[in-house]
Amino acid sequence: MEYPIGKISLNIRIKDYYSEDEMDLLVDIGHSLETGNTLFEPDHNLALAVYGLAAQKGNATAMNNYGWMILNGYGTLKDIGKAISAFEDAASRGSITAMVNLGNVYENLENYVEAEFDNFKIIGNAIFMTQRVSVENEYVDYKKAVKWYRKAMENGSAKGAFNFANMLHFGKGIRKNRKKALDIFRNLYNIHYPGSAFYIGLYHQEGFVVKKDYNLARRFYINGATFGDVDCYNQLGMMYAKGLGVKQDFNFAFEYYYIAAEGGDSLAMANIGWMYLNGDGVVQDYKEAVKWYEKACENGFRLETDSAGPLNTLGWIYQNGLGVEQDYTKAIELYNKASSLGNRDAQANLGAMYENGYGITKDLDTAIFWYKKAAEQGDADAIEALERIESMPI
């Protein structure tokens, strides 16, 4: 692809670094301009131009960095198609980072699309968008994500290996193979790769391809926490909250959750909200519950599906006016988000809102639709609601 550089004006003779051998130095200058240091004020426009100059000379790192900047709209308008092309150029020249970036883009493409567009599809490197249509997984190319993560792993990338194992764990773009995923997580654990202890602990906690062993799970979580893995702190909190392999202790649970939440773990924030909502180990405080749930939802979740439970609970809080003014419209909005992620409780709650006309025009057909969605997942309340509706006189 072409790498337009615009006008370059630096307080150094940048032309002195035009030779092939000096491209790495030019990339360093671009990075300094991108992030800022004692020599340069941050200047994304100029950084992009410098990366473009080095990319024109065939420097793979510059191509990758150029792609990253236009992917995120640093110094230019966002252009996902061009970003992908730049990453592909870099990957073809051996950039392992670009391989991982390609995997990340294809796995999480919707996160890079402008907020006003809800639907998109890649054809080649062109991106076509349609406004106001719900996103389906078919618009995210998991198979290409797997391809690039695998290639990065085969070239020695620990991050590529971790992401590839994650795809194996969930069966995204590849047949689910948790035995193989566990083998990769174990290899990564040996080099203390972040997140590996969490997954190994989770496998032992849930009995995925190994015998369920809470003590062993806790040991891995403790080891992961030692290296600052906030997910492990959250899991330790959950084990104490539920008494899994340890005596139930809400005080310990809260302490672990709080450490994880301070480290930015959204699930831990939601768990603290749950404790305040129910008065588990703390004085029941609906306002504190709302604060933590909203903080979790605003912070975002590593896996989008992880947000479904907290979104539903927050919806229930607004529906019932606990610590906030009762707001059916807000509740419906949150239930809709959680329902679209497959949360059966939210689907049942949304069905009830339509059945009773809470904050929305009463619509029995739509209520039945959502009750059926929840019932298909075994929700007892939804099944009971459907039986009740079916028994109504015509």
- Pick 27 or 274 by higher pLDDT: 274
114 and 131 Cβ atoms separated by less than 8 Å: no
pLDDT of residue 173: 95
Q: How far apart are CA 108 and CA 301, in angstroms?
A: 13
pLDDT number for residue 26: 85
Task: Say if residue 306 is exposed, middle or buried (CB neighbours under 10 Å; 0-12, 13-18, 19+).
Answer: middle
User: Residue 391: what pLDDT?
Assistant: 86
Q: pLDDT > 70: what percent of the chain?
A: 87
For the chain, list the domains and their CATH numbers.
1-94 (1.25.40.10)
For the chain, give the mean pLDDT: 88
Mean pLDDT of the 63-68 span: 96
Cβ atoms within 10 Å of 259's Cβ, excluding its own:
19
Q: What is the mean pLDDT of residues 235-251?
A: 97
Classify burial at 313, counting beta carbons within 10 Å of its beta carbon; exposed 0-12, middle 13-18, buried 19 or more.
buried
Q: Rounded to the nearest 10 degrees, how much is the dihedral formed by the CA atoms of 32, 35, 37, 42?
A: 90
Count other Cβ atoms within 10 Å, centred on residue 175. Answer: 7
How far apart (Å, rounded) are the C-alpha atoms in residues 360 and 370? 14
Beta-carbon count within 10 A of 194 CB: 17
CB burial of residue 160 (10 Å; 0-12, 13-18, 19+): buried
Name the nearest CA neighbour of 269 among 299, 245, 244.
299
Residue 197 Rama label (left phi>0; alpha psi -120 to 50; beta): alpha
C-alpha radius of gyration, the chain, whole number: 25
Output the pLDDT for position 118: 42
More confident site: 112 or 131 = 112
With a cut of 70, say whether residue 125 has pLDDT above it. no
Core vs surface per residue 57-84: b (16+ CB within 10 A) or e:
eebbbbbbbbbbbbbeebbbeebbbbbb
Of 139, 143, 74, 132, give the one whose Cα is nearest residue 102: 143
Task: Please report which confidence band the pLDDT of residue 123 belongs to, taking 50, 70 and 90 as the band edges.
Answer: very low
SS3 120: strand
SS3 361: coil
Longest Cα pair distance anywhere in the chain, in angstroms? 87
**Which of 245-249, 304-308, 339-343 has the highest average model confidence (pLDDT)?**
245-249
Residue length of the chain: 394
Rounded Cα–Cα distance for residues 199 and 155 (Å): 23
Tens of pLDDT, residues 35-58: 998 888 899 999 999 999 899 989
- The secondary structure of 215-251 as a DSSP string is HHHHHHHHHHHHTT-HHHHHHHHHHHHHTSSS---HH
Q: How many Å apart are CA 229 and CA 242, to the nearest integer?
A: 21
For residue 136, the model assigns a pLDDT of 40
CA-based nearest residue to 342, from 304, 380, 295:
304
pLDDT at position 394 is: 65
Taking residues 22-29, report their average pLDDT: 84
Return the pLDDT at 204.
Answer: 98
Q: How confident is the model over 51-66, as a mean pLDDT?
A: 93
More confident position, 275 or 301:
275
CA nearest to 371, candidates 343, 347, 345: 347
Residue 307's pLDDT is 85
Residue 58 DSSP one-character state: T
Rounded to two decimals, what is the model's pTM? 0.83
Average pLDDT for 171-198: 97
pLDDT 10s digits, 364-377: 999 999 999 999 99
Q: For 130-172, what is each residue's pLDDT tens digit?
A: 332 233 444 468 999 999 999 999 999 999 999 999 999 999 9
